[in-house]
Amino acid sequence: MRNGKEFKTILENHELWLSSNKAQGSRAELIGKNLSGWDLSGTDLSRADLTDANLRGANLSGADLLGTNLNYADLSGANLSNANICDAKMLGADLSKADLKGADLHSAMLRGVKLMEANLSGADLSGANLYGAELMGADLSNANFNEANLSFANFSGIDLSKAQMVCARYNKHTIFTKGFNPKDNGMELNKRKQVYERLPLRRSVEGTL
């Protein structure tokens, strides 16, 4: 692992910051860092800042990402199976072809995320905000979308027969596979007139570790 000693120090300070309720240590600030391909399985990165980080192909299986800032991060092809991603901020993140099997994304901010061909089987996305998310070709078998915001999301070409969608909110711009009836699956139509809101400008930050 490149610069493993520096990264270990960052993690130690972050753990102290968490355990001391921010009184000691320091939050892990990994904005724009290149962590592509790193083995971070089981790592506690809860509430860390990984905005714009390159985590392409990284192993984050079983990692704690509770409340972590992953806005605009590149997680394409990453292993996030069984990870705790509750309340995480993933605005505009790239999760295409990522393995999210069994991951907990309850109440996560997933607005505008790319989840094309991702494995979300058994994942919990209840209460998550998937406004404008792209999920074409994703595996959603046994995924939980109950009470999620699915306005402007794209589910084209996806078998949703095994996904839970109770009280999930959609609008007339949400795209489903032909033949899927959202009302028959307990979903709620948002009838308010909505105009698609573009994502905020991406922070252009580069860094290596």
Q: What confidence category does residue 199 fall into, taking pLDDT thresholds of 50, 70 and 90?
A: confident
Q: Which residue has the higher pLDDT, 203 or 11?
A: 11
Query: Per-residue pLDDT averaged across 170-181, rounded?
Result: 94
Q: What per-residue confidence (pLDDT) applies to 191?
A: 86
CA–CA dist 63, 102 (Å, integer): 12
Total-model pTM:
0.92
Flag whether pLDDT at 208 surpasses 60: no
* 168 touches 189 (CB < 8 A): no
Vertex 154: Cα angle to 79 and 195 (nearest 5): 125
Flag whether pLDDT at 102 surpasses 90: yes
Flag whether pLDDT at 204 surpasses 80: no
Flag whether pLDDT at 203 surpasses 80: no
Paired tokens of 185: 């699956």
Q: Which domains does the chain have, with CATH numbers?
A: 1-29 (no CATH), 31-199 (2.160.20.80)
Q: Which residue has the higher pLDDT, 1 or 140?
A: 140
Q: What is the 3-state secondary structure of 101-148?
A: CCCECCCCECCCCECCCCECCCCECCCCECCCCECCCCECCCCECCCC
Q: What per-residue confidence (pLDDT) applies to 3?
A: 65
Paired tokens of 103: 């991951």
Percentage of residues in the chain having pLDDT higher than 70: 94
CA–CA dist 98, 114 (Å, integer): 10
| Weakest mean pLDDT among 43-57, 146-160, 177-191, 193-207 | 193-207
**What Cα–Cα distance (Å) separates residue 35 from each residue in 1, 63, 98, 101, 138?**
9, 14, 15, 21, 24
**What Cα–Cα distance (Å) separates residue 56 from each residue in 144, 145, 148, 190?**
25, 25, 26, 35
